[in-house]
Amino acid sequence: MKEFDTILEKIFSDTKYTRSEKEALGKVIKAKDFDHQELSLLRSRLFDTVREKFDRKEERDILTCLEDIIKTLMPSPKLNNNNNVEAFFSPGDACRDAIKTQIRQARSSLDICVFTISDDRITQEIGHAWDRGIKVRIISDNDKQYDRGSDIKRLKSMGIPVATDFTDNHMHHKFAVIDKCTVLAGSYNWTRSAAVYNNEDIIILDDRQTVDGFMHEFERLWAEFS
């Protein structure tokens, strides 16, 4: 990732994509042998880099729209039994970026089951997914939804369906199912402190048995808390 960011910085220093920079970027991608998920993460980092260079919200919105169109034109993911697994760790940006990438890749549905959401950057991505027509559902716990910084109420105000656990126990899951094809799960709370301070983890996997298991758990809790 560091080599990728260095090349991007050089490219945008003069806003020209030269032959040598193209070759350098190609060598990095080839040497690292990035898989589909990693390339998607790189594309997201690319758009984030460009988005930061615009001062006007209208310009940033146009770029976000372009990114969404590109994702629509890309092949849709398919449920498989390849047992692809990726791991990400915090502190640092890796877990948060992995979550944002998965949300951005969603084509039809996004089922989120997390204890709390208070990282505005993740909340913004969920809002973008909802705005582009993705079917979003969120399950969360009642203990944190009224905390300062909690975004659960904000997400609900967007019209996103939210089911809340009001029992004496905790709905302490931290997982999401994307397009019923991919599972994202781990200890990582969807908060800023998890990215900055905590030792946390996320895994992303796409085998059918695991996806079916998480979807079954989501539907069970959705029926219980709705």
Residues annotated as catalytic (active site), given as ranges: 172, 174, 179
Round to the nearest angstrom and report the end-to-end CA distance of the chain. 41
Alpha-carbon distance of 214 to 221, in angstroms, equals: 11
**CB-based contact 52:63 (threshold 8 Å):** no
What does the DSSP 8-state code read for residue 1?
A: -
> Is residue 2 within 8 Å of 43, Cβ to Cβ?
no
Q: Which two tokens stand for residue 79?
A: 């449920």
By DSSP bridging, strand 109-114 and strand 135-141 are: parallel
Report the alpha-carbon distance of residue 111 to residue 206 in Å, rounded.
15
HSE, side-chain direction, 13 A CA sphere, residue 180: 8
Q: Cα angle vertex 30, ends 29, 32, to 5°? A: 65
